[in-house]
Structure 1
Amino acid sequence: MRQRLSHHVNGQRLWDRLMLLANYGARADGGVDRPALSDVEAEARAQLIGWGRELGLQPFTDPIANLFLRLEGSRPDLSPVLIGSHIDSQPTGGKFDGAFGVLAALEVIEAIRASGEQPLRSIEVVAWTNEEGSRFAPGMSGSEAFAGVKPLETLLAVTDAAGCTVREAAERVLARDVDVPQRPFGWRPAAFVEAHIEQAPLLERAGVPIGVVTGIQGTRRYRVRVRGEAAHAGTTLRAERKDALMAAVRMIRAIDAVASDPADVMLTVGMMRLTPNAPSVVPEEAYFSIDLRHVDDAVVDRIDAEIRRIVADECGPCSATLDQIAHAPSLDFAPQIRAAITTAAEAAELPAMPIYSAAGHDARQLHYICPTGMIFIPCRGGISHNPAEWAEPDHVTAGARVLADVTMALASQGDEGAGRA
């Protein structure tokens, strides 16, 4: 009987690559700071291309600098199976978020090479551009451009805090690529599977190494700008002030109150900037973020209406503008991909459980154009976006083993079975 591809997965090689990739943007506290489209991400990208070329993979990119490493199938005319994630990080990120999915995908190619088999469909390892959105907000620019969720020109015009556009940063990264041809958008994969750490504690608490992700909860993200008037802190009466910060505080307090029902609403104000940000000056401007998430779209929509009302009502003598920068409804992943992940975990004798993703991922965007699914592995304490982020080596290997068998099953299907395992 033919041996399953998962038996050829080398967990130690995968772990070593994870630790090596973490050197690109390494922080003194053990974390990773690898901003999207930065010089350090370009160096990590070159490392991926080097590993891919050692395996005989053909690298490709596109106008927003997504990176693809292609293993040719016996029927290259068929649409390929995509597997991967992203390699950019939060400023205080860890070693596993995104990177695990990309390197697990590369290990799948290693396993195929070791097996001596050639899949029917081509398989492409992908590293999507700007998933995190920490430098260029919102995130998932690369997968949104690829899937046609937003116009390319809109995504390329986004700027970072220093005024650099995605276009400018992507051009610098693309200029550093050596012999990497650029492909246009407009093609659709047969399927996409993304492996990722859970970024929550449910798998760890259950003692289960594999999560079969059923879907992703809905989200809305905003930026609020409150404009007041700078004034002397010691001579301007409070009744005469146009204090932008106090107006922002009133807004945030009221939004927090309306987002308390139901109790599982996720509301975060994670960024605030003040102008002039001086101890003895009444703030002239307050600029802050709102991140709203819940599995029920009706709940998100109701709170959205309240947020808009509160920003208008609580600005007092100041003025305020609200800009919604992202809106993504809740979604369910393709049943056939979920079934394939469950089957692969059972065959590998790895306990698995269905699990919903509270965090957003590039798989959200691919869901709109092809059958898509995700494989979760536990992370210690559910901690992520933090230098303390950690995944056990055995779980890393387990996730790669399941990904390998799922990928080979999907890549063995012809047109009549594309996306079905």
Structure 2
Amino acid sequence: MIEIDPIAGLAVRARAACLDLARLTEVPGEITRTFLSPPTRDVTAYLSAWAAELGLSVRVDAAGNLRARREGPSPDAPTLYLGSHVDTVPNAGAFDGVLGVTLAFAVAAALRDTPLPFALELLAFSEEEGVRFGVPFIGSRALTGTLEPLLTLEDARGVSVRGALEAYGLDPAELPGARVGGPSVGFLEFHIEQGPVLQAAGASVGVVSAIAGQDRLLLDFVGQASHAGTTPMAHRRDALAAAARFAVAAEDLARSVPGLVATVGVMTARPGAINVIPGEAHCTLDIRHEHDPVRAGALDTLLADARRFAGERGVTLTVTHKMAQPAVPMAPAFRGGLRRAASQVGQLAPDLVSGAGHDAMILADVMPAAMLFLRSPNALSHHPDEMAEPADVEAALRVGVAFVQDLAARGGR
């Protein structure tokens, strides 16, 4: 008789569960599942059934997060949290966020009969992407007690976060009960990389060293619209030319500074006629780096460039800072534990920086947090063709199980 490897079987189930959940969508023909949309109830039911198989208690907190729990050996035992998010961007792939949830369930299944000195709580966050309300991490903010200030935000239909919770049958007054209570061991999040580093390294998994800090800005260049044929070049106040120079400067600087990424993702010009010099140009800047001083220095350089480009053309510049998010280093002890676990199961697991934000950066404010990335074939994510290879899912699960076992052997430290 051929003996079946239980870890391999659970990896298959974790990946298959992502494909099952991909069918739970608010837009037929694509994967779209925004915060508290109707398919969220189906996702909760699916995961609750799996939790019941494992003998876990299940609750949905006041932010709509599914929380499946295995109690510890004593009432005062600390809790190790595992999970990720189940909402998606529009027309998404099947693995972003969701794979982190199903792998958490697979870890719990693999360790079902293994004594642990801590409780396990599996988290399926109701919202991370920021699609509906323009602000991400609604789910994980509930665990850190930072959601309440966002309750008045409104979506495109004028529904507030508070109204969305109430319409779903949740009570915002109960949000304090969603906060992490009692001692915590920490939080581990599995996630597809969404980038090319692991593929280039030939590695199935990698250990995240930090989640990059980022700034987002709007830049408004205002000059003077005038006739394209009758206005000599020396007399022009071309707002778009200043903005275009800025976009190229951002690219040039980011190429020259290791680890820096800078993106001008939106640019508009007015009045927008082929024979009119643009009197206004509006653009965005997204700039990220794992080290805050590097990012801040680069931003100062780029804003000085923008002012110079504007001044050379008689154009005014207004800068609006929309977001400033510090970099979040991952917990050194957890990173070391992931590296030990990877070595134990024969995985390379190089260090890498996450350029995208994740729930781990929110929970890092209240407990040690770490992330294990899985290779993203062709660096494709937020796209219907997003993929996670079966062998990489199995590798991640083996590392995750070994990590929890190692953590248990060390008494949760």
Shorter-chain TM-score: which interval?
Answer: 0.7 to 0.9
Per the alignment, in what secondary structure is the counterpart of residue 15 of structure 1?
A: helix
Alpha-carbon offset, residue 392 of structure 1: 0.8
Alpha-carbon offset, residue 155 of structure 1: 2.7
Q: 1:145 to 1:251 in 2, by over 3 A?
A: farther
User: What is residue 355 of structure 1 aligned with on the other side?
Assistant: 352
Consecutive unaligned residues of structure 1, counting only runs of 5 or more, are none
Per the alignment, in what secondary structure is the counterpart of residue 25 of structure 2?
A: coil
User: What is residue 261 of structure 1 aligned with on the other side?
Assistant: 256
In angstroms, what is the RMSD of aligned CA positions? 4.0
Aligned residue type for 1:121: F
Alpha-carbon offset, residue 199 of structure 1: 1.6
Q: Is residue 166 from structure 1 mapped to residue 161 from structure 2 by the alignment? A: yes
Q: 1:354 to 1:264 in 2, by over 3 A?
A: closer
Per the alignment, in what secondary structure is the counterpart of residue 122 of structure 2?
A: strand
Q: Is residue 328 from structure 1 mapped to residue 326 from structure 2 by the alignment? A: yes
Alpha-carbon offset, residue 218 of structure 1: 2.2
Give the Cα separation in 1 of the matches to 2:284 and 2:47.
34
User: What is residue 303 of structure 1 aligned with on the other side?
Assistant: 298
Give the Cα separation in 2 of the matches to 1:282 and 1:208.
51
Q: 1:299 to 1:404 in 2, by over 3 A?
A: same
User: What is residue 210 of structure 2 aligned with on the other side?
Assistant: 215
Give the Cα separation in 1 of the matches to 2:97 and 2:326.
20
Per the alignment, in what secondary structure is the counterpart of residue 154 of structure 2?
A: coil
Alpha-carbon offset, residue 98 of structure 1: 0.8
Give the Cα separation in 1 of the matches to 2:37 and 2:267.
23
Number of aligned residue pairs: give it: 403
Per the alignment, in what secondary structure is the counterpart of residue 88 of structure 1?
A: coil
Q: 1:186 to 1:96 in 2, by over 3 A?
A: closer
User: What is residue 179 of structure 2 aligned with on the other side?
Assistant: 185
> Could you tell me whether the CA contact under 8 Å between 1:297 and 1:330 is conserved in 2?
no
> Could you tell me whether the CA contact under 8 Å between 2:77 and 2:119 is conserved in 1?
yes
Q: 1:248 to 1:89 in 2, by over 3 A?
A: farther
Alpha-carbon offset, residue 21 of structure 1: 0.8
Aligned residue type for 1:153: E
User: What is residue 81 of structure 2 aligned with on the other side?
Assistant: 82
Give the Cα separation in 2 of the matches to 1:47 and 1:383.
27
Match of residue 378, structure 1, among 366, 375, 378: 375
User: What is residue 200 of structure 2 aligned with on the other side?
Assistant: 205
Q: 1:62 to 1:264 in 2, by over 3 A?
A: same
User: What is residue 134 of structure 2 aligned with on the other side?
Assistant: 137
Aligned residue type for 1:328: P
Consecutive unaligned residues of structure 2, counting only runs of 5 or more, are none
Give the Cα separation in 1 of the matches to 2:78 and 2:21.
29
Give the Cα separation in 2 of the matches to 1:45 and 1:262.
44
Give the Cα separation in 1 of the matches to 2:231 and 2:176.
61
User: What is residue 111 of structure 1 aligned with on the other side?
Assistant: 110
Give the Cα separation in 2 of the matches to 1:206 and 1:168.
46
Using structure 1 for the length normalisation, give the TM-score: 0.79
Alpha-carbon offset, residue 396 of structure 1: 0.8
User: What is residue 148 of structure 2 aligned with on the other side?
Assistant: 153
Per the alignment, in what secondary structure is the counterpart of residue 190 of structure 1?
A: strand
Give the Cα separation in 2 of the matches to 1:297 and 1:352.
25
> Could you tell me whether the CA contact under 8 Å between 1:255 and 1:310 is conserved in 2?
no
